[in-house]
Amino acid sequence: MFHKEGNTIIIATLAICITAALLLNHFIDNVILKNTLIGVFILLLFLVLQFFRNPKRNFLLNENQVLSPVDGKVVVIEEVFEKEYFNEKRLQVSVFMSPINVHVTRYPVGGKVVFSKYHPGKFLVAWHPKSSEENERTTVVVKSPIFGDVLHRQIAGALAKRIVNYAEEGQEVNQADDSGFIKFGSRVDVFLPLDTKVNVKLNQVVKGGITVLAEK
C-alpha cells in the first residue's frame, strides 16, 4: 500500500523508467552497459516505492499515551523554551527520519486542532540546531483531554522539499490518523507538558502510531 501523496511521483517515475528501458534497448547494443543502466532505473523506482509506502498497522489507541508521530530515531529529549505557541518551557522529543523510513506523519494524541500554521524557510540538515526555527516547517497543536495542548512540528531537511499538512483549526482528530506527509527526509518535534513521563530513550528506533513516546 502506498500513500496518496506519492501517486503522481510514482506514476511519473514508472513512466520514466519504462521509457528509458525502451530507449536503452533500442539505442545501446552493449549488453553489460544496457543492463547496468536499466538496473539503475529499476533501483530508482524501488527507492521511490519504498519512500511512499504506507503499511497497514494495528494501532492501540490510548488517550493517556502520546504516540510517536513518525517512524525514525529519537534524537532529542530535553526541556526547552517553546516560543511560537506556548511561550514557556516544554519537554521536547524529536524523531529523525531517514529517506528509507515511512514518512506519514500521524497525530500523537487525539482531540481538537487549536493551531495549525505553515512556515516557509531554509533546508538545513534536519539535525542542525537551528533547523526547528529556520527550516520550512508546519506547527500543529491538538488539545488533548488528558495532556492539554500537544504541539507537533514537521521540519523539512536537506532533501525534503515539500511538507504536506492536513490539520485544520477547529477540526476534531483521532490519535494516529494522518496529520500530513514530508517528502524525502526530515524530522518531527513533539512538545509536551513538563510533568509528562517519557517512555523512550535517545537513539531508540520508533514507529509512527505504534511506539509510546510518553504517558501520564
| Comparison of pLDDT for 200 and 136, the residue scoring more | 200
| Comparison of pLDDT for 55 and 165, the residue scoring more | 165
Which residues are CB-contacts of 62 (< 8 A; sequence separation ≥ 6)?
175, 212, 215
**Prediction pTM value:** 0.82
Residues forming a β-bridge with 146: none
Is 94 considered catalytic here? no
Which residue in the block uniquely carries the three cell numbers 533501483? 43
Mean pLDDT of the chain, nearest integer: 88
Which residue in the block uniquely carries the three cell numbers 529556520? 134
Q: According to the model, what pLDDT value does residue 125 have?
A: 57
Residue 201 has pLDDT above 90, yes or no: yes
Q: According to the model, what pLDDT value does residue 131 have?
A: 54
Q: What is the pLDDT of residues 137-173, one digit of tens each?
A: 899 999 999 999 999 999 886 555 578 899 999 999 9
| Separation of alpha carbons 111 and 156, rounded Å | 25
| Separation of alpha carbons 109 and 148, rounded Å | 10
What mean pLDDT do residues 21-45 have?
88
Q: According to the model, what pLDDT value does residue 144 have?
A: 97
Q: According to the model, what pLDDT value does residue 212 have?
A: 97
- pLDDT tier for residue 204 given thresholds of 50, 70 and 90: very high
Q: What is the pLDDT of residues 73-101, one digit of tens each?
A: 999 999 999 999 999 999 999 999 887 88
What mean pLDDT do residues 22-51 have?
87
| Separation of alpha carbons 72 and 206, rounded Å | 6
- CATH architecture group of domain 65-215: Distorted Sandwich (2.70)
Helix orientation angle between 31-51 and 7-27, rounded to the nearest 10 degrees: 180
Residue 133 has pLDDT above 70, yes or no: no
In 3-state terms, what secondary structure has residue 60?
coil
Q: Which of 68, 94, 132, 186 is catalytic?
A: 186
Calculate ∠ Cα 135-179-76, nearest 5°: 50
| Separation of alpha carbons 69 and 35, rounded Å | 40
Residues forming a β-bridge with 67: 212
**Domain boundaries defined on the chain:** 4-51, 65-215
- pLDDT tier for residue 16 given thresholds of 50, 70 and 90: very high
